[in-house]
Amino acid sequence: MASTSRLDALPRVTCPNHPDAILVEDYRAGDMICPECGLVVGTDENDLVPAFSFITAGDRVIDVGSEWRTFSNDKATKDPSRVGDSQNPLLSDGDLSTMIGKGTGAASFDEFGNSKYQNRRTMSSSDRAMMNAFKEITTMADRINLPRNIVDRTNNLFKQVYEQKSLKGRANDAIASACLYIACRQEGVPRTFKEICAVSRISKKEIGRCFKLILKALETSVDLITTGDFMSRFCSNLCLPKQVQMAATHIARKAVELDLVPGRSPISVAAAAIYMASQASAEKRTQKEIGDIAGVADVTIRQSYRLIYPRAPDLFPTDFKFDTPVDKLPQL
């Protein structure tokens, strides 16, 4: 019966006996219950009664999720949802405007066949652009299967940037793409700029510019990318087994530690490491294939590979099973 509503603000009421306990929302009855002692907590202290009593006196909370019956399978088309879509209070300010839905039945059409009360009045016109951007963010994230937490973070970032108005002149799509990039970084699963470019209509240059501007506007910073952040994704896309992925991670990390590739982008080093690991295993991949997945040119992979090739025996993990021995690795 725990609350599942999004990003709940902590209610100000607390259990008098356990002020630190976080109150649990009971959906069925609409109460807040203390998990320690079971007390139903309401605003009026005199009405405190234990939860197992049928008569509860705590304040009812208003459920702002969508109506429960949305998932019923028996009724095919008519969905008797009376409360509309779930509220999104934290992102758009106040969804409390009135909308008139499209009519059914004869009475809703006037003499010419046009519907009376046409076009539901634009709701929250102040945030029309923001809602549009949220839609765009959801679309972009959906293309690369990003989880909901990243999308939420992106929406929050966009809202902050939008309210600040310091980047008002820039295309909203560019800001949305940059926010998506930052959110992925902040969640510890960075996506390369090229990956974000692939799902956005904005150029890498513009996304990069907006990225820097947003960091400055929000006064945040992000962690530096490392080679290991991309290994699992690239290797999975190349259908490489776990052993090869682990070997590639090890190679890349060792190469950076030994400073064999100073000044090279971590993506290029990761791609070269994957190439080396895959060439040493049974699952060989060409430079072109790796370049396609990672978004680096194959000459770039070649350059980084040349730098790590001389120390190849030191870079592999000790328990790696070589299909092609180290000295027979391709030399480019």
Q: By CB under 8 A, name the binding residues for other proteins.
A: 192-193, 208, 211-212, 215, 221, 224-225, 259, 262-267
For 49, phi then psi, to 5°, come to -135, 155
Nearer to other proteins, 212 or 242 (CB): 212
Q: How far is the CB of 168 from other proteins (least distance, A)?
A: 22
Nearer to other proteins, 58 or 295 (CB): 295
Tokens of 109: 């059409």
Rounded CA gap, 322 and 119, in Å?
A: 67
Helix axes 128-143, 172-186, angle to 10 degrees: 50
Q: How far is the CB of 114 from other proteins (least distance, A)?
A: 50
Q: How far is the CB of 262 from other proteins (least distance, A)?
A: 5
Nearer to other proteins, 73 or 221 (CB): 221
Q: How far is the CB of 250 from other proteins (least distance, A)?
A: 20
Q: How far is the CB of 229 from other proteins (least distance, A)?
A: 12
Radius of gyration over alpha carbons of the chain, in Å? 28
Q: Which residue has the tokens 């108005």?
A: 165
Nearer to other proteins, 21 or 225 (CB): 225
User: Do 32 and 11 touch, CB atoms closer than 8 A?
Assistant: yes
Nearer to other proteins, 74 or 259 (CB): 259
Nearer to other proteins, 128 or 194 (CB): 194
Nearer to other proteins, 264 or 285 (CB): 264
Rounded CA gap, 158 and 140, in Å?
A: 14
For 69, phi then psi, to 5°, come to -85, 10
Q: Which residue has the tokens 């060439």?
A: 279
Q: How far is the CB of 72 from other proteins (least distance, A)?
A: 48
Rounded CA gap, 318 and 313, in Å?
A: 9
Rounded CA gap, 56 and 75, in Å?
A: 34
Q: How far is the CB of 281 from other proteins (least distance, A)?
A: 28
Alpha helices per DSSP H over the chain? 128-143, 148-164, 172-186, 193-198, 204-218, 228-237, 242-257, 266-280, 287-294, 298-308, 312-315
Closest by CA position to 169, among listed 137, 204, 210: 210
